[in-house]
A and B are shown apart, each in its own frame.
Chain A
Amino acid sequence: MAGFVQQVIEGLGTGAIYAGLALALVLIYRFTGIVNFAQGELAMFSTFIAWQFVHAGVPFWAALALTLAISFAGGMLIERVLIRPVEGAPELTLVIVTLGLFLLVNAAAGWIWSFLIKDFPSPFPGGALRAGGVALGYSTLGVLGVVAAVMGLLYLLFRYTRIGLAMRAVASNPESARLSGIGVSRMLALGWGLAALVGAVSGVLVAPVLFLEPNMMGGVLIYAFAAATLGGFDSPVGAVAGGLIVGVAETLAGAYVHAIGSDLKVGVPLAVIIIVLLFRPQGLFGHAAVERA
């Protein structure tokens, strides 16, 4: 039993990593209605910026604050420079632009910082809480805590602020939002900025575990997609719940279902995405979209 509980705890730890990036995906989807394939790479790039500050001797928390500010500004800049010219273009154009951004950012990070593995300091102490043969690492606890806090803030933002309202209007119908006096472009830029900021948080959280290098987020992205899909692409609570469920499912499947085996583990997010989309496309926490012809 302790073994099982331990597997679940480890799964939650892994799931928290997916949840962090899934939050960024949900955020950009809520603001702009697109799926950003480059979100993971932007998070990785932000983490490198944080690493650069720490490496230069800036204290960890100051480096983090600087990084978050830069990421926010960077996200807005990307929106203005790269996305604005194709605003209102078909979905496919945006998919291609974010894929181009994916390749570009990945290669740029390798160019600047090389592909060698870098260690990244963990903001949390080592060691673990122990009870009844089960150990819960402080770092796992810390990651879960931060993810929960970000989720709470986003929930409040979406639910109780004017920005949240405006944002919903923009994502659901940019034209009528514009007519009712909402600065659509400003909202889109804000969405990119905030998503980049949340992505930076998730990057900084995973880097001590996965170690920093340009392909760090490549493997995480697909699990984050699965998490966001499971939770419903527009719900921050859903993204976190989805991330945790995917993490636990993956860990338990690896431990107890031997036919899957570690080599086919990536089948877990695939199965999650397909099953959810076929049977409950709005996800566990999302809102069903009404289609108008």
Chain B
Amino acid sequence: MSDKTLRATTIRCTAAAAALLLAATACGGRGADGAATSAEGACKGQQTTGITAKSIKLGGIYPLSGPTSAYGQIPKGVKAYFDYVNAEKGGVNGRRIDFTVRDDGYQPPKSVEEARRLVEEQHVFALFQTLGTPTSAAVMQYANQQKVPQVFVSSGASKWGADPVKHPWTIGWQPSYSSEGRVYAQYLKKDKPQAKVAILYQNDDFGKDLRSGFTDEIKGSGVTVVAEQSYEVTDPSIDPQMRLLAGSKADVLLDITTPKFGTQALAADANNTGWNPVHIINNVASSATVLKPVGFDRVQNIVSAAFLKDPSDPQWGGDAEMRLYKDKLGKYAPGLDSSNAFYSLGWASASAMDKALGALKCPTREGLMEAVRDLKDVHSDLLLPGIAMNTTPQDGYPLETLQLQRFKGERWNLFGEAIDTRKAG
């Protein structure tokens, strides 16, 4: 190789890079600080960045690319809801909602970058829904340092509500994984007090939280865990794990999986005619899109817990909220299959955000956190009957009630009372 030429090349590159950097420097300017604004009057001194009398800017971060991009469908439901509210209701209290979606590919460093882009460049009022546990955890510290609301995190880890003093700007939404685990434990203690349980779980925070919620709750009862297997999301199949669990002859299978592996586990259970445990599948993998590929006739009598109405369930056909969702999704996001639970989840959480924004006493970031920490029996769209959002300044978990359900025919049948894990905990 010619060293001289290499050097010449390097010089040109260096010069070009320097010129670019200088150009960027010259026209960049330190604009960010100029956009921070604060309120006057009763809410004096509070932050009003991203909110005016006419508009609210929100930002969400989801994996639109990479192996978890199935969740990238959720923001489409959110967008449809806000489009509907903007077009037909004139926004929330006259404020149109401007919702920006960014992709982090489920990589935490990327989530931080996108959060900073939304906050510092697009000047959003709040981060609404960052999806996933590690990604949201990476953003949490930044949001709390910058005093930017990180509202209704889309993950069931318990850390979002665990410490309102240390992380006052972050709050989750859905029932935590560990409370879901407790619900299944309570069900078994009552219905099958001597149950021998085999557990299949995803080897991450989600699987471990749900599992430990369950095992904590069965302590001292006749319900015992006789076998456990974990899997990695990079595994091609969970069939080997299922065979090992079948060897335990347990009479209950607690299936803590994400959709793809949920489908595989259900199929493996159905194929194994020699082992017929009560199959409890966690909420994350309970939608019809997971069950259908296995065949409805092969998943009869499985048990799960829910907090939202399932859009593929015919029993909500006449339900006003469900009809509104299906109508408006068809209108504002044409071409989407409204029976997909990702869209209804997005719709439901957007509706919860609508309620929180509607309850603002001060139209400020501080006001939003006050509102989401002071929800009293607030019902938002698509929540199951008997389930409502409740928070206090000390209690940072909006939803803690779940409803058990059993699959019969082609749909889930709710059974028993809605279980409030707050009371039973």
Residues of A participating in the B interface, judged by any CB pair closer than 8 Å? 3, 7, 10, 14, 17, 107, 110, 114-119, 126, 137, 209-211, 213, 215-216, 218-220, 223, 250-251, 254-255, 261-263, 265-266
On whether A263 and B230 interact (CB within 8 A), knowing A250-B240, A254-B241, the answer reads yes
CB < 8 Å A-B pair total: 85
> A251 to chain B: which residues have CB within 8 Å?
240
On whether A10 and B240 interact (CB within 8 A), knowing A117-B293, A211-B260, A262-B229, the answer reads yes
> B293 to chain A: which residues have CB within 8 Å?
117-119, 211
Q: Is B65's CB within 8 Å of the partner chain A? A: yes
Closest Cβ of chain A to B84, distance in Å, is 22
**Looking across the interface, which residue of chain A has its beta carbon closest to that of B268?**
A209
Is the beta-carbon distance between B260 and A117 smaller than 8 angstroms? yes
How distant is the Cα of A266 from the Cα of B240 in the complex, in angstroms?
13
**CB within 8 Å of A: which of B251-299?**
259-260, 263-264, 267, 271, 289-290, 292-295
How distant is the Cα of A118 from the Cα of B70 in the complex, in angstroms?
13
Is the beta-carbon distance between A209 and B292 smaller than 8 angstroms? no
Is the beta-carbon distance between A14 and B294 smaller than 8 angstroms? no
24 of the cross-chain contacts (CB-CB < 8 Å) are A3-B247, A7-B243, A10-B243, A110-B69, A116-B70, A117-B260, A117-B290, A118-B293, A119-B292, A119-B294, A119-B295, A137-B271, A209-B237, A209-B239, A210-B264, A211-B264, A215-B67, A218-B236, A219-B235, A219-B236, A254-B241, A254-B244, A263-B203, A266-B232
Kindly list 11 other residue pairs between chains A and B, CB separation below 8 angstroms, not including A119-B292, A211-B293: A14-B237, A117-B290, A118-B293, A137-B271, A211-B260, A215-B67, A255-B243, A261-B230, A262-B231, A262-B240, A265-B240
Is the beta-carbon distance between A115 and B240 smaller than 8 angstroms? no
Q: Is B215's CB within 8 Å of the partner chain A? A: no
> B260 to chain A: which residues have CB within 8 Å?
117, 211, 213, 215
Across the A-B interface, the 9 shortest Cβ-Cβ residue pairs: A219-B236, A119-B293, A115-B70, A220-B236, A263-B203, A254-B240, A117-B263, A215-B67, A211-B263
**Looking across the interface, which residue of chain B has its beta carbon closest to that of A220?**
B236
- Pick from A3, A10, A213: contact of B239, CB below 8 A: A10
Query: How many residues of B are counted as interface, with CB atoms below 8 angstroms from the partner's CB atoms?
Result: 34
Most chain B C-beta atoms within 10 Å of own C-beta, residue among A17, A110, A250: A110
> B73 to chain A: which residues have CB within 8 Å?
114-115
Closest Cβ of chain B to A108, distance in Å, is 12
Is the beta-carbon distance between B289 and A210 smaller than 8 angstroms? no
On whether A263 and B232 interact (CB within 8 A), knowing A114-B73, A215-B67, the answer reads yes
> B290 to chain A: which residues have CB within 8 Å?
117
How distant is the Cα of A216 from the Cα of B260 in the complex, in angstroms?
9
**Looking across the interface, which residue of chain A has its beta carbon closest to that of B342?**
A116
Q: Is B340's CB within 8 Å of the partner chain A? A: yes
How distant is the Cα of A216 from the Cα of B244 in the complex, in angstroms?
23
Is the beta-carbon distance between B247 and A218 smaller than 8 angstroms? no
How distant is the Cα of A261 from the Cα of B203 in the complex, in angstroms?
11
Q: Is B181's CB within 8 Å of the partner chain A? A: no
How distant is the Cα of A218 from the Cα of B73 in the complex, in angstroms?
21
Most chain A C-beta atoms within 10 Å of own C-beta, residue among B67, B229, B247: B67
> B230 to chain A: which residues have CB within 8 Å?
261-263
Is the beta-carbon distance between A219 and B240 smaller than 8 angstroms? no
Q: Is B72's CB within 8 Å of the partner chain A? A: yes
**Looking across the interface, which residue of chain A has its beta carbon closest to that of B236?**
A219
**Looking across the interface, which residue of chain A has its beta carbon closest to that of B293?**
A119
**Looking across the interface, which residue of chain B has its beta carbon closest to that of A116?**
B289
Q: Is B2's CB within 8 Å of the partner chain A? A: no
How distant is the Cα of A116 from the Cα of B290 in the complex, in angstroms?
8
Q: Is B145's CB within 8 Å of the partner chain A? A: no
- Pick from A14, A211, A216: contact of B267, CB below 8 A: A211
> B292 to chain A: which residues have CB within 8 Å?
119
How distant is the Cα of A224 from the Cα of B239 in the complex, in angstroms?
17
How distant is the Cα of A252 from the Cα of B384 in the complex, in angstroms?
45
